[in-house]
Amino acid sequence: MQLSAGGADEAPAPEVRLHLEGIRRTFGETVALDDVSLRVRAGSVHTILGENGSGKSTLVKILSGVLPANQGTVRVGGALLGVASPARARRLGIATVFQEVLVAPNRSVTENVLLGQDSWHRWHRRGRERAAVALAALGELSQRPFDPRAEVGELDLVQQHQVAIARALAVEPQVLVLDESTAALDIEERDLLFAAVRRRVSAGMAVIFISHRMDEVLSLSDEVTVLRSGRVVATLAKDELGERRLLALLNPEAVR
């Protein structure tokens, strides 16, 4: 029996959850991003790898609605992000842990984890229930106890990071963006984060992952896009990944 292309026996192509097309962003004379396109599939970790200043965080800010692009589009599923707006990005299911961790230092752990959540959490859940939701999210990331009523400004930096990560996980996003979120964590905490990420990726979440640590990139990524001076130089699938290859793409001068 002959099967035509796309026949019933072929596995369906995995759904593209996030689609960036032709993104350009300049700051004065600096071209931070130039014609950047990428697709992130549901149920996968897509790493953006690039040297300092290659445009990773600018890309993160654009897809999170914090910064407008000069050109190009961001889509989640079929929906266009359109005008840069963090609220719109959140509604489309994008949750971001920014490189510069954003917490409200004078607010409690619970309030910080539930910050930006819908009114259901804010108005229709009692204090104790809200604290339980926050502690459940944090419990995945840390074996150290958190006091839900403590002000976040009083916590150490690792715990502040974990609060910011828990906030992103607690909304059960369609797309989770982690910009250098492992930099402040030790190995044990990093492994807890990876386990939490992997559980959600198995359930279909798409992840954009940014890290300078090659071992992390190799262990977590399903695909890697390499940026050099704001341009995509390659996107590699999992079976194409290797340290030497990635280093050569990152900086061809350095490996010569």
Ligand X SMILES: Nc1ncnc2c1ncn2[C@@H]1O[C@H](COP(=O)(O)OP(=O)(O)OP(=O)(O)O)[C@@H](O)[C@H]1O
Task: Select from 111, 94, 221, 118 the least CA-distant residue to 168.
Answer: 94
Binding segment for Mg ion (CB under 5 A), chosen from 43-51, 71-79, 99-107, 169-177, is 99-107
Among 57, 64, 110, 142, binds Mg ion (CB under 5 A): 57
Among 47, 57, 112, 142, binds ligand X (CB under 6 A): 57
Alpha helices in 171-251, H assignment, sequence order: 187-202, 214-220, 243-250
At 104, list the tokens. Answer: 């409200």
Q: Is 29 in the site for ligand X (CB under 6 A)?
A: no
30 binds ligand X (CB under 6 A): yes
Q: How far apart are CA 35 and CA 102, in angstroms?
A: 29
State yes or no: residue 93 binds ligand X (CB under 6 A): no
By beta-carbon proximity to ligand X, the closer residue of 200 and 228 is 228
For the chain, count helices (H), then strands (E): 9, 10
What pairs with residue 108 in β-bridges?
Answer: 151
Q: How far is CA 154 from CA 25, 113, 131, 151, 212, in A?
A: 37, 15, 18, 6, 28
Measured distance CA(103)–CA(112) in Å, rounded: 7
Please state whether beta strands 30-41 and 71-76 pair in parallel, antiparallel, or not at all (unpaired).
unpaired
Quick one: what does residue 93 bind among ligand X, Mg ion, none, with the CB cut-off 5 to 8 Å set by partner type?
A: none
Amino acid at 77: G
Sole binder of ligand X in the list 53, 68, 82, 127 (CB under 6 A): 53
Give the nearest distance from C-beta 67 to ligand X in angstroms: 8
Q: Report helix, strand or coil for 10.
A: coil
Per CB under 5 A, which region of 35-43, 54-62, 84-92, 101-109 contacts Mg ion?
A: 54-62
Asked whether position 181 contacts ligand X by CB under 6 A, the answer is no
Q: How far is the CB of 140 from Mg ion (least distance, A)?
A: 25
Selection from ligand X, Mg ion, none that 50 binds (CB < 5 to 8 A by kind) is: ligand X
Distance CA 117, CA 112 (A): 10
The pair of structure tokens assigned to 225 is 């896009």
CA distance 204 to 207: 10
Which one of 57-65, 123-131, 142-150, 196-204 is the stretch in contact with Mg ion (CB under 5 A)? Answer: 57-65
Please select the residue that binds ligand X; options are 4, 52, 119, 202, rule is CB under 6 A.
52
Nearer to Mg ion, 57 or 110 (CB): 57
Which residues of the shown chain bind ligand X in the complex (CB under 6 A)? Answer: 27, 30, 32, 50, 52-58, 99
Which residues of the shown chain bind Mg ion in the complex (CB under 5 A)? Answer: 56-57, 99
